[in-house]
Amino acid sequence: MKQLMKGNEAVVHGALVGGATHFFGYPITPASEIAHAAADFFPRTGRHFLQAESEVAAINMIYGAAGAGARTMTASSGPGVSLMAEGLSYIAGAELPCVIVDVQRAGPGLGNIWPEQSDYNMVVKGGGHGNYHNAVYVPNSAQEMCDMTAHAFDIADRYRVTVFILSDAYIGQMMEPVEIPDSVHHAPAKPWALGATSETRDNLITSIHMSTADQAAHNWKLKAKYDQMEAEITDWEEVFTDDADTLFVAFGITARICLTAVQRLRARGVRAGLLRPKTVFPFPRTRIAELVDQGPVREIAVVELNDGMMADDVQLAAPSVRVHRLNWLGGQVPTAEQVLEMAAQKAGQR
């Protein structure tokens, strides 16, 4: 079934298809349509919706529901996700699966409601305290808002991790046709959860380890899981990379702009290509390194609505080439021609 809808609304349809059973949230621009749609569709389909009194309450409700085996989620924007940081660390320590949507806006502080991609470090690098990672998917369309959210619940349960859908105000607010899948992904059995049965009454959900040896063993176990995720779920898209000597790297709304820029360069005879990460944790570092080490790539242009956060990861993956940082801040979003103009300026500074 195909419908015209906002990316934020597509998230809720994806969550229902993904088997989500509980939504706990607190509205915030530019993510509020997610809570509004969840309040409508979750009860209509026999699922549960509760507006929490704050983002702090919402993340702790998720901890409880996930510990009981539910497929649970919330959605917010940067200021709200900041308030969830402590709860996210507890959830990671307890290895509880859940899904969180972050529709990014400009910051720091209250900033404004226009799109940025400046939650990258907070979401990809952790945000809360301790050694942990979230799986992070970065959609660039309303369709991917639906599809990635549906898929996120399976990933969360498979690895017992938090999965973020890291979007932005443009992708969340734009309206596009969305094909809604017909089949629902139901949650698998979770023998580790607290299911209010005699079989699960002795299960323990906790993130506390009172000995240094136990804490170390737990952290190494988490690291092994994150390494396994890198081997199994890293995802990206490539366009014109076979012979590209200039590689653009971008995600979300900037990837769509870069695709137009690359197409215009190709029309002018310039060998440009695009790599669009679909996951930024795990990050497609191995593929970027391959394109540099085994291909003709001479330089990389990373286009972001922040001060160069993903560019740091690209540079680590490709230390032998120059990485140009093409950045826009404050909610400003460039046109394809502005991207090309800045790319030419950066290349001229070599």
Quote the domain boundaries for residue 120: 2-233
**Same domain, residue pair 128 and 35:** yes
Q: Please report, rounded to a whole number, the percentage of residues in the chain having pLDDT higher than 70.
A: 99
Q: Give the mean pLDDT of 111-126.
A: 97
Query: Looking at the predicted structure, is the pLDDT value of residue 350 above 60?
Result: no
Q: Which of 233, 265, 280 is the last residue of a domain?
A: 233
Query: Looking at the predicted structure, is the pLDDT value of residue 179 above 80?
Result: yes
Q: Which of 200, 233, 266 is the last residue of a domain?
A: 233
**Same domain, residue pair 29 and 114:** yes
**Same domain, residue pair 278 and 250:** yes
Which string of DSSP letters, residue by residue, matches 127-148?
SSSSS---EEE---SHHHHHHH
Find all residues with CB under 8 Å of 9, minimum gap 6, and list them: 33, 34, 37
Q: Counting beta carbons within 10 angstroms of the beta carbon of residue 74, is it exposed (0 to 12), middle (13 to 18) or buried (19 or more)?
A: buried
**Beta-ladder partners of 123:** none
**Same domain, residue pair 217 and 248:** no
**Same domain, residue pair 100 and 173:** yes
How many helices (DSSP H) and strands (DSSP E) are in the chain? 13, 14
Q: What is the pLDDT of residues 51-99, one digit of tens each?
A: 999 999 999 999 999 999 999 999 999 999 999 999 999 999 999 999 9
Q: What is the pLDDT of residues 234-291, one digit of tens each?
A: 999 999 999 999 999 999 999 999 999 999 999 999 999 999 999 999 999 999 999 9
Q: Which of 181, 211, 233 is the last residue of a domain?
A: 233
**Same domain, residue pair 306 and 240:** yes
Q: What is the pLDDT of residues 184-217, one digit of tens each?
A: 999 999 999 998 888 898 999 999 999 999 999 9
Average of per-residue pLDDT values in the chain: 96
Check which CATH number belongs to the domain holding 23 and give it. Answer: 3.40.50.970
**Same domain, residue pair 183 and 278:** no
Check which CATH number belongs to the domain holding 255 and give it. Answer: 3.40.50.920
Cis omega (within 30 of 0) for bond into 296: no
Q: Give the mean pLDDT of 142-161.
A: 98
Report how many domains make up the chain.
2
pLDDT band of 349, cuts 50, 70, 90: low
How confident is the model at residue 282, as a pLDDT?
A: 98
**Same domain, residue pair 203 and 330:** no
**Same domain, residue pair 220 and 294:** no
**Same domain, residue pair 194 and 267:** no
How confident is the model at residue 346, as a pLDDT?
A: 82
**Same domain, residue pair 195 and 248:** no
**Same domain, residue pair 103 and 39:** yes
